[in-house]
Amino acid sequence: MNQLFSSLSIGAHSLKNRIVMSPMTRSRAISNLPNELMAEYYSQRADAGLIITEGTSPSPNGLGYARIPGIFSEEQVSGWRKVTEAVHKKGGKIFVQIMHTGRVGHPLNLPKGAEIIAPSAITLKGEIWTDAQGNQPYGTPREMQKADIEKAIQEYAVAAENALSAGFDGVELHGANGYLIDQFLNPGTNHRSDEYGGSIENRNRFAVEVAREVAKRIGPEKVGIRISPFGVFNSLEIYDGIEEQYSTLAKELGTLKLAYVHIVDHSSMGAPKPEENTVRRIREEYKKANPNGLYILSGGYDVLRSDSDLKGGRGDLIAFGRNFISNPDLVDRLRKGQTLENPNPDTFYTPGPKGYTDYKVLAENSHQNGVLSEQLVN
């Protein structure tokens, strides 16, 4: 049997397969509120062993992009409850990804009274979309003081509690791709000279403190984290000492007994490939401290490569990204070796159902001929 389609437990939950739907920003949360359209989107994909939602802010300050959801207000919790109920009704499991955008944002995308904050006052180069005025230069962040850091940690923890109230099975902390946690990790975005900057241990501190507080609030078996060693998204830098930093971080995360570590690999989309030795050491250090913890791999996987890495012990779950957008029945297509539909990037972030909930399933495309699925799907 192909390991990709075998069951696996995560905490108290049994997953029906080892296919994870990657977190992907889709920008359909009008006024930052989860809605019925989003419930339809996620429930269409409930055959995945585990769904991880789009990045969801724990704070008004973390809503840097247009139309991304939050999970800090009761109205947002109520909106997410529609999503989790729809997914559970179809037998799925779903974690919310908690993502604070940090310096990645513009004031026009933030609600009144919110501000752009980051470890250091370093402005991201380039432009970001705003619904009010189109593309605009990224806003300049205010450097976080100790009180801001303590407040942000508590916001993550409260967001995790809100997630359980909304019916989520757990949470994933977004520590990757140049957002707030990653901004503390990376020396290119963290120029601090206090206990949150400088050394590896200091730059890891915010990530560890967030994970510890969230695990304390909702239980470590309900908490995962996503990290991106060698990631360059949002103008991150590749620097000396990545392997040492991330293996040290992995050991600390393992000590906290988190449910999983999720590794980002965007090399199939042209980004630098994480060094295999670093990926191996992260896995080994994490599992040494937490033998029951799971390891999620991602990055251009097909069925055959997934089976090989799962059987070889290189990972426990495989995350698939963009083809979940255009193939709501991706699990069935992979199992049957069917052709995959290509997504339309022009509708990745546009409001409304087009390119979101209108992709067809196999039953509606029965004329297609089956093809062994060796094509890349993330």
Domains and CATH numbers, the chain: 3-347 (3.20.20.70)
> Which is it for strands 223-227 and 134-137: parallel, antiparallel or unpaired?
unpaired
Which contiguous run of DSSP H or E holds residue 307? helix 303-311
* Interatomic CA distance for residues 360 and 289, integer angstroms: 44
Residue 176: C-alpha distances to residues 173, 227, 330 (Å): 9, 4, 25
Q: What is the reported pTM?
A: 0.94
Say how far apart CA 159 and CA 322 lie, in whole Å: 26
Angle at 358 between CA 357 and CA 361, to 5 degrees: 100
Query: Which pLDDT does position 372 carry in this prediction?
Result: 34
Active site (catalytic) residues? 179
Q: What is the CA radius of gyration of the chain?
A: 19
User: Are the C-beta atoms of 212 and 202 separated by less than 8 Å?
Assistant: no
Asked whether the CA dihedral 16, 19, 20, 21 is positive or negative, the reply is negative
The per-residue pLDDT for 266 is: 84
Q: How far apart, in whole angstroms, are the C-alpha atoms of residue 99 and residue 116?
A: 14
Model pLDDT for residues 157-205, shown as the tens digit of each residue: 999 999 999 999 999 999 999 999 999 999 999 999 999 999 999 999 9
* Residue range 97-119, pLDDT digits in tens: 999 999 999 999 999 999 999 99
Q: pLDDT value at position 376?
A: 31
Residues of the chain with confidence (pLDDT) below 50 = 366-378
What is the rounded CA–CA span in Å between residue 64 and residue 109? 6
DSSP secondary structure code for residue 230 in this structure: T
